[in-house]
């Protein structure tokens, strides 16, 4: 029987990876580049963009960006899988967090391998002040990182409380 970490991996990973790839394909197929559809006026839009760089467009104009980003993504995927394999059966929050990060990393890695860039389309803004556009993969990475940090904080407090007893 599969342990809970593998159940989490085999359910969450394909669902998020498919959702990420399907939404990016749908946006690329149905919208023209740089067009925007307001969802909540002056707050949130669907805007079709392509990001050649990493987060916030870092390395977008660099000549080494694509090999570097692909290599960094592959290293991250390998590292996450290695950590997932070593998790204890009761570390479900960590398994969820790492699976979210893995799903996002794989989604953006596949875009870089196939297209040399990543499709972004979620556009959060306050009137004319825009947060950098992002996608489902980016969201999964951020939520996973938050859960990982929150889990570490809870564990640190638990260990501190045990020490005080």
pLDDT at site 128 = 86
Of all residues in the chain, what percent carry a pLDDT higher than 90?
75
- Which are the catalytic amino acids? 120, 138
Residues 79-108 as b/e (b if ≥16 CB within 10 A, e otherwise) read ebeeebeebeeebbbbbbbbbbbbbbbbbb
**Helix, strand, coil % (nearest 5) of the chain?**
65, 15, 20
Q: Which of 33, 70, 58, 26 is nearest to 48 (CA)?
A: 33
Rg of the Cα trace of the chain?
A: 18
pLDDT at site 44 = 97
Q: Which of 20, 12, 4 is nearest to 121 (CA)?
A: 20
Mean pLDDT of 124-153: 94
**CA distances (Å), origin 159, targets 1, 10, 11, 87, 144:** 31, 31, 31, 18, 22
pLDDT at site 104 = 97
pLDDT digits (tens, 9 = 90+) for 23-79: 999 999 999 999 999 999 999 999 999 988 676 666 666 667 788 889 999 999 999
pLDDT at site 120 = 96
Q: Which of 38, 57, 36 is nearest to 48 (CA)?
A: 36
Structure tokens at 43: 């707050």
pLDDT at site 60 = 60
Mean pLDDT of 4-14: 94
pLDDT band at residue 90, thresholds of 50, 70 and 90? confident
pLDDT band at residue 139, thresholds of 50, 70 and 90? very high
Under DSSP, is residue 143 helix (H, G, I), strand (E, B) or coil?
A: helix
Number of Cβ within a 10 Å radius of residue 146:
12
pLDDT at site 56 = 60
- pLDDT mean across residues, the chain: 91
């Amino acid at each position: 029987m599969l342990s809970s970490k593998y159940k989490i991996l085999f359910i969450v990973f394909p669902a998020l990876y498919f959702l990420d790839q399907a939404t990016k394909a749908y946006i690329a197929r149905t919208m023209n580049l740089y067009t925007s559809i307001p969802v909540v006026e002056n707050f949130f839009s669907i805007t079709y963009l392509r990001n050649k760089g990493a987060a916030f467009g870092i390395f977008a104009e660099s000549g080494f960006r694509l090999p570097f980003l692909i290599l960094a993504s592959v290293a991250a995927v390998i590292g996450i899988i290695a950590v997932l394999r070593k998790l204890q059966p009761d570390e479900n929050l960590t398994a969820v967090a790492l699976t979210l990060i893995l799903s996002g990393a794989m989604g953006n890695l596949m875009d870089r391998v196939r297209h040399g860039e990543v499709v972004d389309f979620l556009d959060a803004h306050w009137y004319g002040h825009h947060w950098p556009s992002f996608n489902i993969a980016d969201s999964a990475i951020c939520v996973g990182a938050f859960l990982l940090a929150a889990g570490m904080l809870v564990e640190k407090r638990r260990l501190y409380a045990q020490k005080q007893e």
